[in-house]
Structure 1
Amino acid sequence: MHRITAAYEYRNRLPSSLEELTGPEHGVVELPLHVAWSGLRAFDLDQPRLRLSLYRTVLAEGMRDDLCCFLNRDILLELWPLLRTFVSRAIKEVWEEAFPELRP
């Protein structure tokens, strides 16, 4: 996907604010097929690697409602310094432009 097109698509999926990210903080989360269409679908948020994997998957594949439903503001802020190294450049740029509190 062309970088400009990717950035446009990611920008259109953004919540209005990080406060809209009200997803769970603990437990097992099962992602729908339209988000996790290949591989693992259930993620235990109490296991750091699985939590990171869920956030990476939802940021890359989730629509706006998925972002709000499966991501949690506080966890995103905690994970972002590491997470930003695992997501695409387009995702990183779009999210950091929209939400300055994510910038390093």
Structure 2
Amino acid sequence: MYREKFLRRLPASLDEFCGPARGIVGLPLHVAWSGMTSYDLEKPRQRMGLYRTVLHEGLHDDLPRYLNKDLLVQMWPVLRGLVGRTVRTVWEDAFPQIAARARAAA
């Protein structure tokens, strides 16, 4: 059931992830309901926090709006350890490119 929740949120392709790569990003309260709502993508810790929050709490339309394909792929080797096994498995099964990036970085 938990796995299905994350599966339903995924877009069909990584190419749909066209979120910002720089600047300040403000998340709506349904995504950032606890804690920070504004993130500076120039700051690595804030960028990681934004991605972790969106991966866990973002809905189907939020994922491509707030996540950037290139940043996601680049950050995945570290990010995958922060999101939990279910999220990691769902994303790596759906997008082999990020799983390959994680293996290459290991």
TM-score by length of 2: 0.93
Task: Please list every run of 5 or more consecutive structure 1 residues that lacks an aligned counterpart in the other structure.
Answer: none
* Structure 1 residue 51 corresponds to structure 2 residue 47: yes
Structure 1's consecutive aligned runs of 4 or more residues displaced over 6 angstroms after TM superposition are none
Residue number among 17, 27, 47 corresponding to 1:31 in the alignment:
27
**What are the Cα deviations for residues 7-63 of structure 1, in whole angstroms up to 9, with x where unaligned?**
100000001100000000000000000000011000000000000000000000000
Distance 1:40 1:88 in 2: 20
Which residue pairs with 2:95 in the alignment?
99
How many correspondences in the alignment? 100
1:76 positional shift: 0.1
1:10 aligns with 2:6: yes
- 1:75 is aligned to 71
Distance 1:49 1:100 in 2: 25
Q: 1:86 aligns with which of 78, 82, 86?
A: 82
CA distance in 1 between counterparts of 2:40 and 2:33 reads 18
